[in-house]
Chains A and B, each alone.
Chain A
Amino acid sequence: MRRSLRWLLPLAALPVVALLAFGLTRSTFVLPSALVGQAAPDFRLETLDGDTVQLAEHRGKVVLLNFWASWCIPCRAEHEVLIHTTRSFLETDLAVIGVVYQDSRANAITFMRGLGGDWPSVLDPSARTAIDFGVYGVPESFFVGPDGQVAFKHVGALTWSLVESKVDSLLASREEALSHRTAAEGS
């Protein structure tokens, strides 16, 4: 066999090995999201209390949209983080909205009464809003910026450090945009 051919096979196998190394070392739980950087789909849905919430009404605020269900164990675990979030960002322009995913109103109300929390949760019949947001399962959370665009998506239970960093960053960008606008109007 020629010397050149001797190197040809390992060279030919190299891309295959590289491809397998790339494919097999990726976490199958990190799911892609096409919505990041795109406008968040609007919705107008009924809350557990019978009121109505529309996402577009919160334009100019930072919105933490949390898809949850009473049957979801990680949702129970992250609930404490959401309570802490609403308390910590009480005086800021952060709105937390829960979206009940594949669950009944009665179960959702029992869940909220049992664990506490005063942010609105809306019912999503036929999971249309969940599909609109490209939800795979619960819990999933979307951080929507003041411009109405999805800034970040998190799959799984939220942690306080993650929420704090994302919300702080979005609120800071909001303040920056506001100061730019004020300066432009002044000049």
Chain B
Amino acid sequence: MTDTFRARGWLAAVTLLVLGHAAPVLGYASARLGDAWAAPATAVDAAVSPVPEMLVQEAAGGTTLSPAELDDLAARVAGELRCPVCRNQAVVESSAQLSREMQALIRERLAAGDTPEQVKAYFVARYGEWILLKPEARGVNLLVYVVPILTFLLGGLLVWRLLRRWSGGAEARLASATAGGAPTSVDQHPAGAASADTARAVAEPATRLSDRDEAWLEKAVSER
């Protein structure tokens, strides 16, 4: 396998790795973007955005919310909780009977003065953190948020380094060709002078430029 082929194989692998890690991040980002664009806002859409603290404080402070505000707040909280009998569906989106009971309970607790955080804590105490559609960014959960970004950055760095190396190699070949000198690698080949012909045969394809590259090279030299 030639160096070019090997390098291209590595590039493909790195690109796939980077894209593989970037996909969930991009998917999440696009989902959030889609939610932000969706209009008019429905209960489902509203559920994705965080609960406004002002409303929370009002509810906790015992201020009476209008039925519409209470419905909105309950929908937001229900949108952050996972339906126990569905697969990856928010309580607010689910038509399962248990989800409907949960929605009624959420509304009741909020009306009684619980904050959304207290309501969520109630469900977490019973179903575990699994019930939260978006895990809290703390402890081991941080890995979910940090690892994709880190891998994305590392992959990008790797691709950047590879690209730089390739462009560096091309520049070196260009410099060697414009100087008119034969590649030194033939003389330094480990096979030694006895097999210099064989070594030259192997090395030559790497120094022979394609017509397109030759045209470009001539143009580059003439411009100097």
> Which residues of chain A have a CB within 8 Å of any CB of chain B?
1, 5, 8-9, 12-13, 15-16, 31-35, 38, 41, 102, 126-128, 130-137
Expressed in whole angstroms, the minimum distance between the Cβ of B6 and any Cβ of chain A is: 7
Consensus secondary structure, chain B interface: helix
Expressed in whole angstroms, the minimum distance between the Cβ of A107 and any Cβ of chain B is: 15
Of the listed stretches B47-55, B67-75, B126-134, chain A binds B126-134
Expressed in whole angstroms, the minimum distance between the Cβ of A181 and any Cβ of chain B is: 30
Contacts known (A1-B7, A16-B21); A134 close to B105, Cβ less than 8 A: no
Q: Is the CB of A127 within 8 A of B98?
A: yes
Contacts known (A12-B154, A136-B85); A126 close to B126, Cβ less than 8 A: no
User: Does B203 touch A at the CB level, under 8 Å?
Assistant: no
Expressed in whole angstroms, the minimum distance between the Cβ of A123 and any Cβ of chain B is: 14
Chain A residue nearest to B126 (CB atoms) is: A134
Which residues does chain B contribute within 8 Å of A1, judged by CB atoms? 6-7, 10, 162, 165
B87-120 contacts to A (CB < 8 Å): 97-98, 101-102, 104-105
Contacts known (A12-B151, A137-B85); A131 close to B130, Cβ less than 8 A: no
CA–CA, A31 and B82, complex, Å: 13
Number of inter-chain CB pairs below 8 Å: 65
Which residues does chain B contribute within 8 Å of A38, judged by CB atoms? 125
CA–CA, A36 and B17, complex, Å: 40
Q: Is the CB of B98 within 8 A of A9?
A: no
Instruction: Please pick, from B7, B97, B126, the residue contacting A127 in the complex, using a CB distance under 8 A.
Output: B97
Chain A residue nearest to B102 (CB atoms) is: A131
Q: Is the CB of A102 within 8 A of B97?
A: yes
Chain B residue nearest to A8 (CB atoms) is: B158
CA–CA, A33 and B6, complex, Å: 50
